Structure 1
Amino acid sequence: MNKIITFLIAILLLASCNPTTLTFSFIYNDEGPNKEIATRMKNLLESKYNVEIRLVEGVGTDANLDSLVEGKIDIALVENYVNYREGLNSAFSVYSEVLHIFHKESVDGSSFESLIYSGPVYIGREQSPTYNLMMDLFDFYGLDPSLIDVTFNMSEAGVVVELTNLFSKESLKAYEGFNMFSFDNVENLGSASIAEGIALKYPRMSPFVIPQGSYWGFSDVPIVTLAVDLIMVVRSGMLEVSVNDFAQTMLRNRQIFTSIDPLLFNGLREDFDQSILNIPLHEGARTFLDRDEPSFIERYAELGGVILSIIIALWSGIVSLTKWQAQKKKDKIDEFYEDLIKIKNAIPTLKTISEGIQKIRRVQAAQNKAFEMLIAEKLVANDSFRIYMELSKETINDLRGRMRVLKAKG
């Protein structure tokens, strides 16, 4: 008994130390600041929790989502413009990706229609968030897709569409000889502008203004365009406590990420608009974001701590008393085991049905005696007792099986 108690205490101590490191896989597309965001997320989470974050570079949004649905990946960064899939949930918004439409100076950019119909248009990989967004814009403007020359080779395009973070001065050099398309004049915002009309029909998009001077003279007027949130998504089966901890840690330490790109300053916010999420929020993230309404436990946490301390002290006393009483009882279950094993080992050598009947009665008598001793508190209803009862039932079944064989032969 002492050995069993010592073993159980050791197990509890090991459990309380929580030596197991949980491993999560995190996939991202190496576009814009995503790699740096993923790396800082990994470092932050590993420093706060006993976890290991394995970073995986993805090959495309659809493939990344497939990996999550199949359970190969736990976490991903994707645009809030992907189609809903079963088995996925959102955790929080990271930042807004801005729609940039560049067109060569020779291309007529006076309207969206003339721009798109003017020649080869690059809108990203097929079924990518950029591609899907542009298809919705074609529908909004009533354009005929069969008349649009879509190319998947950026170098041959006269119009290039990118859904990304803000461009650096260095990255804008790739667009020398290009102008940037604006959906409307900035003065019209707030007065039913075309950008607001698009956002009304497609609420996952929102109007966005690239202010004059933001791109080092690339454009001499403000650019009115659209933005889409990049979000962190997780497997639906991921534990609520893990998602809660991750969301809380990321959003409360957003200063670590804001130096990556200005868009993250307003992107990583606890009060982001949950209603426009195309992928439902994970319950673990919801419990964190809705924490402003204190639960009963939070409201009475101090009183609960005192009560819990008293309960623990009483429970410790009861456990100690129970162990002391258990040590006084002589554990005779081994004697029952020894007799039962002898009977079980002799089953293959049984020659007659009457021998089998005698042994079954012997096992049943031992069972009755064990129960009598249990009632008299000479045995303890521990795991050893339960295993003995199961083993005795199994032995009786084996004896009956042997008797059926003998009957068939006789």
Structure 2
Amino acid sequence: MSKKAASRVPIDTAAVNAASQQGKSNRLFAFIALFILAISSVGGWLWLNREQEPYTLTIGAGPFGSDAFNLLSEVRQVVLRHSDELRLNIKSTRDGSQNIALLNKGEIDAAVIRSDTPVVADVRGVAELYPDVFQIIVRDDAPAFTVTDLTNIQISVPEYGSDGFRSFWVIGDHYDLPIDQMRWKAEPFNIGAKKLLSGQIDALFTVRSLRDMPLIRLFEDAQLKSIKLRYLPIAQAEAIALKRPFLTTANIPKGAFTGATPVPGHDTPTSAVKRILVTRADVDPEAIRELTRIMFENRLDLTIRFALASAISAPDETRGLSVPLHEGAQAFYNRDQPSFVQENAEPLALGVTVLTLLLSGLFALRSRFVSSQKNKADIYNYQLLDIQKQAMLADEADELDLLKVDLSNILQTVVIALDTDEVTDESFQSFSLLWDAVRETINDRYRQIKT
């Protein structure tokens, strides 16, 4: 019986070593996982804070020298001074229709168009820039005082295919002007302006801002040459806007161009269309947000450089938009609105309270579980101490053999308890040290009895 009992001891020692090795492996795995997490966190932080080249937006701004081109050129200079993240490349184009085509092809990132320009589904709005005003300018001696009188005179209109050309026939359609009975010529504004001053034509139709430099020069030249010019009112502008909702009404104030002999001589009602800045839906939201921020936060700087910048505004969503807002522009416009956390402070606070209670309960349960594991480990240790005490008092080898069997059984029980998480790895380590000590006590006592 003595030999049989003794033969079990090496097997039990192997089990102890295996359990100990498993604990070391678990700790090594946890250390490696934490090391990888730390390296990943540092690497991610370095990547996010790396030196980045500024994002460049190419913007189709209309004809070179136009209001839109000049305004966006000034925006480019302000962006250069106030942003490290963004740069603008301003490209001259024919008109809004070409800008939409270039957007669709991906050749430009943003564009200036009229609010009545047909767009495709992935075009998004950024900001309203300024209004372009419908203007019918006539010589003072021309026999025309209303829009319907245009059938009696010669008039220059914008070139074929342009936005201005289509706008003229919007007015003509509303007033039922007979196209075949009118004397009109489609040509560039500068040619029409020269003909108007020279008396070759009686009137000029154009769609542009009231601060447009070629328009201002037209009135300056007329004043120098003592040529009287006046405006025809578009008295039914509100009715036109009902039919064409992307057009608005406007008013050309008395003396807008000259004050001593005011031109126009009185406030003149007319139609207008807004120039808006648009982009593609897939353009980087952060770049669009930065562009929107620069335009609005530095509007005074822009206005000093170019008076039309004072008209830059956020689209009025309550009146409906010709195109939906880009998410980057929307993020800037919503910057002062309460965040999700602010809007839902009370339910979130309740959720945090409930979560805290749940976590407290879980920690309490875990504490009780760990305490239970420790108590169970203490019981096994007390059993070992009792075996050690019996071994020291034993006088017969048979008694020691029985104690070895008890020692082996306790080890098997504790290994199973470790496997089922009834004792912790740390408790098992303490148990294994005490178990080795008790086994040595039995072996020493066995040698003493034999001698």
Q: State the TM-score, normalizing by the size of structure 2.
A: 0.57
User: Which residue, 206, 214, 221 being the options, matches 2:266?
Assistant: 221
CA distance in 2, matches of 1:80, 1:209: 18
User: Is the alpha carbon distance of 1:178 and 1:278 closer, same or farther for their aligned partners in structure 2, counting shifts above 3 Å?
Assistant: farther
- Can you list the C-alpha shifts for 1:173-232, whole angstroms capped at 9, x where unaligned? 345635332326xxxxxxxx6222222222222222222222212332222222221111
- DSSP-derived class of the 2:102 partner: helix
Could you tell me which amino acid in structure 1 is paired with residue 264 of structure 2? S
Q: Which residue of 1 aligns with 2:98?
A: 63
State the Cα distance separating 1:233 from its structure 2 match.
1.0
Confirm whether residue 270 of structure 1 aligns to residue 270 of structure 2.
no
Q: Which residue of 2 aligns with 1:182?
A: 232
Confirm whether residue 118 of structure 1 aligns to residue 152 of structure 2.
yes
- Can you list the C-alpha shifts for 1:220-262, whole angstroms capped at 9, x where unaligned? 2222222221111112221223223322331232212223554
Q: Which structure 2 residues correspond to residues 4-403 of structure 1 after superposition, within 5 A?
A: 9=42, 12-29=45-62, 30-46=64-80, 47-115=82-150, 117-153=151-187, 154-155=191-192, 156=195, 157-167=201-211, 169-175=216-222, 177=227, 179-183=229-233, 194-216=236-258, 217-260=262-305, 262-265=307-310, 267-270=311-314, 272=316, 275=319, 277-297=321-341
Q: Which runs of 4+ in 1 moved over 6 A?
A: 1-8
Unaligned runs of at least 5 residues, structure 2? 1-31, 196-200, 353-451
Could you tell me which amino acid in structure 2 is paired with residue 204 of structure 1? F
CA distance in 1, matches of 2:339, 2:42: 33
Unaligned runs of at least 5 residues, structure 1? 185-192, 308-410
Q: Which residue of 2 aligns with 1:373?
A: none
Is contact 1:33-1:261 (8 Å) kept?
A: no
CA distance in 1, matches of 2:138, 2:166: 20
CA distance in 2, matches of 1:94, 1:42: 15
CA distance in 2, matches of 1:122, 1:4: 73
Could you tell me which amino acid in structure 1 is paired with residue 312 of structure 2? L
Q: Using the TM superposition, name which of 201-210 and 223-232 deviates more.
A: 201-210
User: Is the alpha carbon distance of 1:104 and 1:151 closer, same or farther for their aligned partners in structure 2, counting shifts above 3 Å?
Assistant: same
CA distance in 1, matches of 2:336, 2:76: 27
User: Is the alpha carbon distance of 1:230 and 1:260 closer, same or farther for their aligned partners in structure 2, counting shifts above 3 Å?
Assistant: farther
- Can you list the C-alpha shifts for 1:47-96, whole angstroms capped at 9, x where unaligned? 32422211212233322221111110011222223123333221110111
Aligned length: 294
CA distance in 2, matches of 1:152, 1:102: 15
User: Is the alpha carbon distance of 1:231 and 1:271 closer, same or farther for their aligned partners in structure 2, counting shifts above 3 Å?
Assistant: closer
State the Cα distance separating 1:27 from its structure 2 match.
1.9
Is contact 1:199-1:205 (8 Å) kept?
A: yes
CA distance in 1, matches of 2:169, 2:53: 47
- DSSP-derived class of the 1:160 partner: strand
Could you tell me which amino acid in structure 1 is paired with residue 325 of structure 2? L
Q: Could you tell me the percent identity over the aligned residues? A: 18
CA distance in 2, matches of 1:277, 1:269: 13
Could you tell me which amino acid in structure 1 is paired with residue 220 of structure 2? K
User: Is the alpha carbon distance of 1:14 and 1:20 closer, same or farther for their aligned partners in structure 2, counting shifts above 3 Å?
Assistant: farther
CA distance in 1, matches of 2:117, 2:65: 16
CA distance in 2, matches of 1:261, 1:220: 26
- DSSP-derived class of the 2:91 partner: strand
- Can you list the C-alpha shifts for 1:266-299, whole angstroms capped at 9, x where unaligned? x222364663543332233233334454221466
Could you tell me which amino acid in structure 2 is paired with residue 222 of structure 1? D
State the Cα distance separating 1:10 from its structure 2 match.
5.2
- Can you list the C-alpha shifts for 1:383-406, whole angstroms capped at 9, x where unaligned? xxxxxxxxxxxxxxxxxxxxxxxx
CA distance in 2, matches of 1:180, 1:274: 36
User: Is the alpha carbon distance of 1:84 and 1:300 closer, same or farther for their aligned partners in structure 2, counting shifts above 3 Å?
Assistant: same
CA distance in 1, matches of 2:50, 2:342: 25
User: Is the alpha carbon distance of 1:102 and 1:178 closer, same or farther for their aligned partners in structure 2, counting shifts above 3 Å?
Assistant: farther
* Larger CA Rg, structure 1 vs 2: 2
